């Protein structure tokens, strides 16, 4: 299994936050008053809200993909499959005409 860059970035951020949290608990870092500034609290809430919205969008995309993938082909895909079948039928008709005329040549579609 290959891990993407975004997954590695996410793991790095979570790792840094865990190290900071553990260092605060053990007393290595002593940040005076963490919630002392109202502006910092507002900025932190805004950042968390933005990340939550992005996460919700990706979760919605994942769930909708899982729901749609079990239903079969979309109308566009069905139309493309019909066109593919029509092209094959036309190729077979052209080959039949070529056989009647005795034309020999490179037939790429023979080994389908």
Q: What is the mean pLDDT of residues 72-101?
A: 91
Q: Where are the beta strands (DSSP E) in the chain?
A: none
What confidence tier does 108 reach under pLDDT thresholds 50, 70, 90?
A: low
The DSSP letter of residue 109 is: G
Question: Model pTM?
Answer: 0.35
Residues 44, 59: Cα–Cα separation, whole Å:
22
Q: What is the mean pLDDT of residues 36-52?
A: 83
For 20, residues 6+ apart whose C-beta sits below 8 A from its C-beta are 29
pLDDT confidence of residue 110: 55
pLDDT digits (tens, 9 = 90+) for 52-72: 999 999 999 888 888 777 777
- Residues 95 and 107 sit within 8 Å (Cβ to Cβ): yes
Residues 48, 54: Cα–Cα separation, whole Å:
10
For 73, residues 6+ apart whose C-beta sits below 8 A from its C-beta are 81
């Amino acid at each position: 299994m290959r891990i993407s860059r975004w997954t590695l970035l996410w793991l790095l951020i979570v790792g840094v936050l865990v190290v900071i949290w553990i260092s605060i608990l053990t007393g290595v870092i002593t940040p005076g008053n963490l919630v002392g500034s109202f502006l910092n609290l507002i900025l932190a809430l805004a950042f968390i809200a933005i990340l939550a919205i992005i996460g919700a969008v990706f979760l919605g995309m994942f769930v909708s993909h899982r729901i749609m993938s079990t239903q079969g082909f979309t109308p566009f895909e069905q139309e493309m499959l019909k066109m593919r079948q029509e092209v094959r039928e036309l190729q077979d008709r052209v080959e039949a005409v070529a056989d009647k005329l005795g034309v020999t040549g490179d037939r790429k579609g023979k080994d389908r």
